Amino acid sequence: MSILKKKPLLNKFLNNHNFQEELNVMPVSSTANNYIENCEDIWMNDMEESSISSEYSSEPVIYHIKERQITNQQPWNTEEIILALSDLPAGKQALSIISTLHGDILDKVLHEFLNIDNNKMKNIQNTPTPFADRCIQNTLMNTEDEAALNTTVLQLFMRWPNTCLLVSCYLGNVKVVKALLSKTAKVSARDSDGRTPLHLAACTASLTILEDLIKHEANPNEWDFSKKYTPLHCAAATGNLACVKYLIKSKADVKAEICGKSPLYYAVLSNAADCVKALLEAGASPNNSQVYTETPLHVAAGLGSVICTKLLLTYGADVRFQFGSMKSTPLHLAAEEGSAECTKLLLEAGAACEAQNARGQTPMHLAVLSQSIETLDILLSIGAKINIEDNDGRTPLHAAVAKSARGIEMMKILLKAGSLVNKADKFGYTPLHIAALNEKSSTVITLLSKGADLTARTKGGISALSFIVRKTPDVLPRFISRLDQAISLHDHELGDVDCELRLDFRPLLSGSRGEADLMLCLVEAGQRHVLKHPLCESFLYLKWLRIRKFFLLSLIFHSIFVAFFTAYIVVEKFRGVLFWPVLIFTVTLASKEFFQMAHGVCSYIKRWENWLQWSVVLLSSIVLNMPKQYHGWQCHISAISILLIWILLMMVIGKFPMFGLYIQMFTQVSINFFKFLGAYIFLIVGFSLSFNVLLQNDSFSHPLIALLKTIVMMSGELEFEDIFISTQSPIEHSGTAHLMFLSFVILVTIILANLMMGLAVSDIQELRRCAGLDGLVRRAELVAHLEHMLFSKLLDHAPNTIMKVCRRGALLLHPPHYCAIYIRPNDPREKRLPQELIKAIYCLVTERKHKNIRTKGSSIYNAHNIEMDISRLNRLYSSTSSDNNQQLNELAAELKRCSFNITTRLDKLTSKVENIVKDCTNSV
């Protein structure tokens, strides 16, 4: 570093009295800055399972690479050296003055200095006395600094020659160094950090000063106070070959290393290939003696230095060394840097392509994260495992979908090589989850085209479809379009009697063992309207026909249970005979509920039907333990239990499509009634207490009886004569009682009862309006629930023959050969689907065909017109003179207007023809 480059920095330090505070932060070198900028936060470090599995987590999935700490190229930066020199006696003054000496002024000062007697200099020079007390030492230093301010250059050289020697070596002032060495300056002098003149000269790559210092018996193997660097370290860091060779010639130790970083390390860090070669030829070891330290090969691979890597491998560098807490091998760092050449050299030298660092990442993980296709190709060509997992269970494909620059390109290479598209990490995240969370629609579309599973769920139970709906909703129209394309014309034309349509159900299949998971995911993700698509509706219809036998078995089971239980309570003589059948049915029902509970307690307790089931099990157990003769509380238990078990049978019947709407109406109206009653219960309680006080009738004698009677009166059963015209209990407060009764009739019987009736009718109308979609939702939920139970892993240990028959009987499709059905919409004998559904399918295919014809015809017509207009105008312009250009422009404008009007009229006529064809099709 020249004096001119250091001068502005010196002026800054010397003019600022608080410069020590500014030096607390050490800047990072340009190499380290470039490295840190190229690294992206990719792997998840601190994400908890609860946060990343939450449906409401809106943060994208972020991957993180552990940043490799790269040491500064220079052992010390400029600020450190200047600060240490400033701490010397008269150090500030020496830095300020010597940096300005040049030319005639320098020659004059040196001439006077060289003529001074050495004995005289020894008498006047200051020798610092060490003090244990830091305060005393600082005081003396300040005193000497103040004394130096009033001295001349000659006096400065005479009184503080060691300080001037150190400063001159760092500033590269050869003349001053030679003059000071010829006098009393010592080559063993040190600054406050232990740097000798030889250290400073090596830092500035000043060969002349090095030679002079060595001639004056400077020790080339001297360490600084921290025992980190020798002069050879400093010379290697500058990359100056001449200085390195001279120090080697002067018996500098090329293997000097205490902290694990040898001169060879700094030569590689500076990417000085000639210095690296010189050190290796001089016997420098390419490997470190300490474990888990950064070797020169790590540095070369991390910087992508092909020449240095080749040199180190040639001289026996070990490719197996692991570095730091991350335990990265050189191959990891080369892949992380994206250096294909270094990767190839390391693999040829025997590096393990599947070595894992502390996070379980292989070089392939890091190559994908660095977006280096060339490095990835090299790793794939040698047979590296494509689906290898890190500690979080993530494959290279997980990393590829999280990138934005070349993510799709990397992803296609990995998928082509056999990467599993639906592989989930330990949190349950598949690549599709990550792509959706990072709002990358193109990546999501590509993954779906490669077979990504929309129904894949995280550990928190959230499907990939839910993330797509919230993060990349623009993908959904493509999904609907894919459903449209799954319905196609297979044979003959649309108007023929033998016309055959193909319904391909593969877009509805998921990667799970069941077939209805996608239907359930659509409902959960708020896309229930998609179930109205003809393909989805056809699938649910055929699926119900396939599995309704299982619900029929459930209905038979509950019907027999209800019959036995009712007979057990009502007919006393049957209790001895029916005890064991009722007990068996009760235990079976309880076992079924335990089995359902094992698949998810949280989701189980949210369904009120399950509470009804357990109520029946509990009451049935109590009834079975009661004596044969019922008295008192036993009758109450029997009455409640027999009511609940019949309600349970009603709910089971409601699962069938033909009864489902009515049961849903009953359930919805009941829920709304109790909500309504909760809002107006205080009005009813108020009237009941008023009647209890005013009327001495037996119906109002007790407050609870009065409340029950008041609720009954809401239905219109007022019994006016029995209350007010009774001779047995005359009315004592007739005026107030009559007025209160009239108020009850108006407010409750008329207004409140009619309001409740109107709300019930409104609910029923809304249910009827949405009956089709609600029925599809119920059917999807029932089918998915049954498949979830039937294909449970808990049943894998059941008798194989029975389970195989049951599971095969529940499946509608058998991939890959049987995934579609063929229907003839114009054949009246077609009965596999309802006629309304067949009509909707036929209309969908017809509309798509006409739309394609119109689009194609419009594009051909427009292109033809444009071509004709251009050719005609060209002929007109070529055959006329320039005087008629104005007329031609007017004619061209008129032609354009006419062509536009004609095109508009043709489009209208085409639309009318399409409407006529559509009406004819619907009538057929």
pLDDT tens column, 312-328? 999 999 999 888 888 99
Buried b (16+ CB within 10 A) or exposed e, 804-830: eeeeeebbbbeeeeebebebbbbeeee
* pLDDT higher at 352 or 769: 352
Least confidently predicted of 418-432, 443-457, 901-915: 901-915
Average pLDDT estimate for 168-192: 89
C-beta separation of 445 from 411 below 8 A: no
The predicted pLDDT at position 825 comes to 87
First to last CA, the chain: 93
Please state which of the ranges 513-522, 637-646, 695-704, 821-830 shows the lowest mean pLDDT: 695-704
Instruction: Check whether 57 has a pLDDT greater than 60.
Output: no
With a cut of 50, say whether residue 63 has pLDDT above it.
yes
CA distance 755 to 208: 106
Please tell me the predicted confidence (pLDDT) of residue 68.
44
Buried b (16+ CB within 10 A) or exposed e, 466-502: bbbbbbbeebeeebeeebbebbeeeeeebeeeebebe
Token pair for 389: 């997992």
Whether 430 has a pLDDT exceeding 90, the answer reads yes
Phi, psi angle pair for 42, to nearest 5°: -120, -50
Taking 60 as the threshold, does the pLDDT of residue 106 lie above it? yes
Does domain 1-24+73-218 fall under CATH 1.10.1240? My reply is: no
- Could you give the angle at the alpha carbon of 835 between the alpha carbons of 830 and 836, nearest 5°? 155
Sequence letter at residue 187: V
Q: Is 286-382's fold the same as 386-482's?
A: yes
pTM for this prediction: 0.73
Mean pLDDT of 445-452: 90
Contacts of 611 (CB under 8 A, 6+ apart): 605
d(Cα 375, Cα 417) in Å, to the nearest integer?
Answer: 14
**What torsion, rounded to 10 degrees, do the Cα atoms 90, 91, 97, 101 define?**
120
Integer Cα distance of 457 and 463 in angstroms = 4
**411 and 379 Cβ atoms separated by less than 8 Å:** no
264 near 285, Cβ under 8 Å? yes
Q: Tokens 């070529």 map to which residue?
A: 878
- SS3 of 685-701: the string is HHHHHHHHHHCCCHHHC
| Residue 47, pLDDT above cutoff 50 | no
Q: E strands within 51-115?
A: none
pLDDT band at 921 (very low <50, low <70, confident <90, very high): low
Least confident of 3-7, 678-682, 856-860: 3-7
- Whole-number average pLDDT of the chain: 80
- How far is 226 from 333, CA to CA, in rounded Å? 29
Tokens describing residue 741: 């009764």
Check if the beta carbon of residue 624 is closer than 8 Å to that of residue 582: yes
Q: Per-residue confidence at 196, pLDDT binned at 50, 70, 90?
A: very high
Token reading at 583: 């007990």
- Higher per-residue pLDDT: 291 or 191: 191
Give the pLDDT confidence score for residue 855 in this predicted structure: 62
Q: Report how far apart, in Å, the C-alpha atoms of 418 and of each of 72, 375, 380, 383, 384 are.
A: 42, 17, 11, 12, 12
Predicted local distance difference test score (pLDDT) of residue 98: 87
Rounded to whole angstroms, the Cα distance separating 378 from 370 reads 14
Q: Which of 181, 171, 19 is nearest to 87 (CA)?
A: 19
Rg (CA), the chain: 46
pLDDT at 124: 58
Q: In the CATH scheme, what is the code of domain 286-382?
A: 1.25.40.20
pLDDT at 155: 83
For residues 542-559, give the mean pLDDT: 89
Q: Is 233 exposed, middle or buried (0-12, 13-18, 19+ CB in 10 A)?
A: buried
pLDDT for 195 beyond 80: yes
Distances in whole angstroms, Cα of residue 134 to Cα of each of 70, 131, 138, 141, 144: 35, 7, 6, 10, 15
Residue 562 CA: distances (Å) to CA of 364, 584, 585, 596, 644: 63, 13, 10, 21, 10
Looking at this protein, which amino acid is placed at residue 499? C
Split at pLDDT 50, 70, 90, the class of 67 is very low
Sheet of strand 500-504: strand arrangement: 487-491, 500-504, 820-823
- Secondary structure class of 821 (helix, strand, coil): strand
Residue type at 53 in one-letter notation: S
Parallel/antiparallel/unpaired status of strands 820-823 and 500-504: antiparallel
Check: CB of residue 348 under 8 Å from CB of residue 306: no
Q: What is the CATH number of domain 386-482?
A: 1.25.40.20
In sequence order, what DSSP letters do the residues of 446-496 get, joined into one string? HHHHTT--TT-B-TT--BHHHHHHHH-GGGHHHHHHHHHHTEEEEES-TTS
User: What is the helix (H) or strand (E) element at residue 180, kind and residue range?
Assistant: helix 174-182
Contact 368, 376 (CB under 8 A): yes
Unique residue bearing structure tokens 């004709």 = 868
Cα–Cα distance measured from residue 23 to residue 76, given in angstroms and rounded to the nearest whole number: 13
Q: How many CA atoms lie within 13 A of 643 on its CB side?
A: 6
Preceding omega of 128 cis (within 30 degrees of 0): no
User: Does residue 759 carry a pLDDT above 50?
Assistant: yes
Please count the helices (runs of H) and the strands (runs of E) in the chain. 45, 3
Buried b (16+ CB within 10 A) or exposed e, 721-731: eebeeeeeeeb
| Amino acid at residue number 635 | C
Report the candidate in 478, 470, 542, 463 with the shortest Cα–Cα distance to residue 510.
463
Local structure of residue 827 (DSSP, 8 states): -
Residue 39 corresponds to which tokens in the numbers above?
């690294």
- Residue 615 phi/psi, 5-degree rounding, is -65, -40
> Strands, E, within 783-858: which ranges?
820-823
DSSP annotation of 749 reads I
Mean pLDDT of 273-294: 88
108-123: per-residue pLDDT in tens? 888 888 887 766 665 5
pLDDT of residue 35: 33
d(CA 190, CA 176): 17
Partners of residue 821 on adjacent β-strands: 503
Query: In a 3-state reduction of DSSP, which class is residue 88?
Result: coil
* pLDDT higher than threshold 60 for residue 161: yes
Residue 350: CA atoms inside 13 Å, Cβ hemisphere, count?
Answer: 8
Cα gap 680→671, rounded to integer Å: 15
Cα 526 versus chain centre, distance:
21
Please give the single-letter amino acid code of residue 580. Answer: W
Dihedral (CA of 143, 149, 152, 153) sign: positive
- Residues contacting 879, CB < 8 A, separation 6+: none
Do the Cβ atoms of 366 and 328 come closer than 8 Å? no
The token pair at 272 is: 């000085």
The yes-or-no verdict on residue 735 having pLDDT over 70 is yes
pLDDT score recorded for residue 119: 66
Cβ–Cβ < 8 Å for 503, 486: yes
Length of the chain: 924
- 870-899 burial string, b = 16+ CB within 10 Å, else e? eeeeeeeeeeeeeeeeeeeeeeeeeeeeee
pLDDT band per the 50, 70, 90 thresholds, residue 856: low
- Tens digits of per-residue pLDDT, 614-639? 999 998 988 888 876 666 788 888 88
* Sequence spans of domains, the chain: 1-24+73-218, 286-382, 386-482, 541-654, 665-769, 836-923
- 504: enclosing H helix or E strand: strand 500-504
